[in-house]
Amino acid sequence: MEKGEDSSTFKMGNSAQERSLPYVPDCYVVPPSCEPCDSNSDVVPTIDVSRLKGVDDDRREVIRELSLACQRLGFFQIVNHGINQNILDDALEVAKGFFELPAKEKKKFMSNDVYAPIRYSTSLKDGLDKIQYWRIFLKHYAHPLHRWIHLWPENPPEYREKMGKFCEEVRKLSIEIMGAITESLGLGRNYMSSRMDENGMQVMAVNCYPPCPDPETALGLPPHSDYSCITILLQNLAGLKIFNPMAHGGSGGWVVVPQVTGALKVHIGDHVEVLSNGLYKSVVHKVTLNEENMRISLASLHSLGMDDKMSVPCELVNHENPVRYRESSFNDFLDFLVKNDISQGDRFIDTLRIKD
């Protein structure tokens, strides 16, 4: 096995990360970043969202904190969110159990079809990426649960039950968080609720980042933003970095997101940037690797329905603030994913911005 083999050698089922190779092949090596790493994790806000259910003054304070986080970073952590720790632990446990199954079990779900409601794959575009990423993942639709759960893995035996419970709880939380976001924009807490609660999409990205023999040379995922309204993330280990555009006098820098026990991470996605007409920014983030431990992350992506288009509300438009984004849907993002290379810096949100 030669270190210099190209990406096509490492297709799913035969990837370096699945085979636990003792070296990082050349096609996984990421060019060194010229951006400085800002290690000051203090800039990452942690918000106690139990206060959303408190008296009016408490709710207003949370809305203010959330609004500032959305404007400055497009990211925050939440605590006292109401999801029992056992539900979080169980979901991580069955996710890990799935990735530890024999290859033939996981191969049942192998697919390169980004439109498929469930698929197992590696990297970003299996075997097609110019640079490969040290990642294995299972993606599946999760809302409405009764429509999709029969497609999920039957093994480990408790996967459907425990992951399903996690998905239900996180989806309820996402409606509450989105209500706070729309309220912070002056649109009211129920502005998006029917479109997201009854008809919205929930996509689970169940990610595994195996130990990497040289974690400084490779990445789990390249810098990107999520298409979603919001993404709620649970992880068992640190490894997420977000880009802080205000660091280093405005030149920007990477921030390690600290691991806070019981906390969930909330990413602002491209569709909330559109919803806010640019006031809130979708967060650019990447995934780093660990030499000794497997990192599991559960990313729950929440958006409008498949063909329901997000557009700038007329309430946020005037002569000083014209419409700055084109409307788009989840399906539009999937079309973009097929035609573009996220690993080379292509971003969906860039295609939506209306140039002056």
Res 4 pLDDT > 60: no
The C-alpha angle with vertex 134 and arms to 219 and 27, in degrees rounded to 5, equals 80
Q: How far is the CA of 6 from the CAs of 27, 108, 224, 278, in angstroms?
A: 6, 25, 23, 39
In a domain, 8, yes or no: no
In a domain, 11, yes or no: no
Q: How many domains does the chain have?
A: 1
Res 66 pLDDT > 50: yes
Res 308 pLDDT > 90: yes
In a domain, 162, yes or no: yes
In a domain, 130, yes or no: yes
**Average pLDDT of the residues in 171-177:** 97
Residues paired with residue 15 on neighbouring β-strands, in sequence order = none
Do strands 75-79 and 46-48 pair parallel, antiparallel, or not at all (unpaired)?
A: parallel
**Which CATH number characterizes residue 125's domain?**
2.60.120.330
pLDDT tens column, 145-173: 999 999 999 999 999 999 999 999 999 99
Residue 128 pLDDT level (bands cut at 50, 70, 90): low
Q: What pLDDT score does 341 carry? A: 84
Res 38 pLDDT > 90: no
Q: What pLDDT score does 63 carry? A: 97
User: In the chain, which ranges are continuous DSSP H helix?
Assistant: 16-19, 56-72, 85-99, 103-106, 145-148, 159-184, 193-197, 247-250, 270-275, 330-339, 348-352
Q: How far is the CA of 156 from the CAs of 99, 106, 318, in angstroms?
A: 10, 11, 54
Residue 267 pLDDT level (bands cut at 50, 70, 90): very high
Q: Which one has a higher pLDDT value, 231 or 339? A: 231
Count of other CB atoms within 10 angstroms of residue 271: 30
Percent of the chain with pLDDT over 90: 79
Percent of the chain with pLDDT over 70: 94
Q: What pLDDT score does 159 carry? A: 98
Residue 27 pLDDT level (bands cut at 50, 70, 90): confident
Question: Which of 124, 345, 111 shows the shortest CA–CA distance to 220?
Answer: 124
In a domain, 165, yes or no: yes
> In whole numbers, what is the pLDDT of the chain averaged over residues?
92
CB within 8 Å of 15: residues ≥ 6 apart: 122, 123, 132, 136
User: How far, in Å, CA of 160 to CA of 157, rounded?
Assistant: 8
Cis ω on the peptide bond leading into residue 156 (within 30° of 0)? yes
pLDDT tens column, 205-232: 999 999 999 999 999 999 999 999 999 9
pLDDT tens column, 133-144: 999 999 999 999
In a domain, 34, yes or no: no
Range of the domain at 273: 40-352
Least confident of 151-165, 168-182, 230-244, 336-350: 336-350
Q: What pLDDT score does 141 carry? A: 98
Residue 194 pLDDT level (bands cut at 50, 70, 90): confident
Residues paired with residue 204 on neighbouring β-strands, in sequence order = 140, 300
Residue 5 pLDDT level (bands cut at 50, 70, 90): low
Residue 233 pLDDT level (bands cut at 50, 70, 90): very high
Count of other CB atoms within 10 angstroms of residue 5: 13
Residue 41 pLDDT level (bands cut at 50, 70, 90): confident
In a domain, 13, yes or no: no
In a domain, 271, yes or no: yes
Least confident of 1-5, 30-34, 181-185, 301-305: 1-5
Q: What pLDDT score does 1 carry? A: 41
Least confident of 96-110, 115-129, 139-153, 268-282: 115-129
Helix axes 56-72, 159-184, angle to 10 degrees: 90
pTM of the model as a whole = 0.95
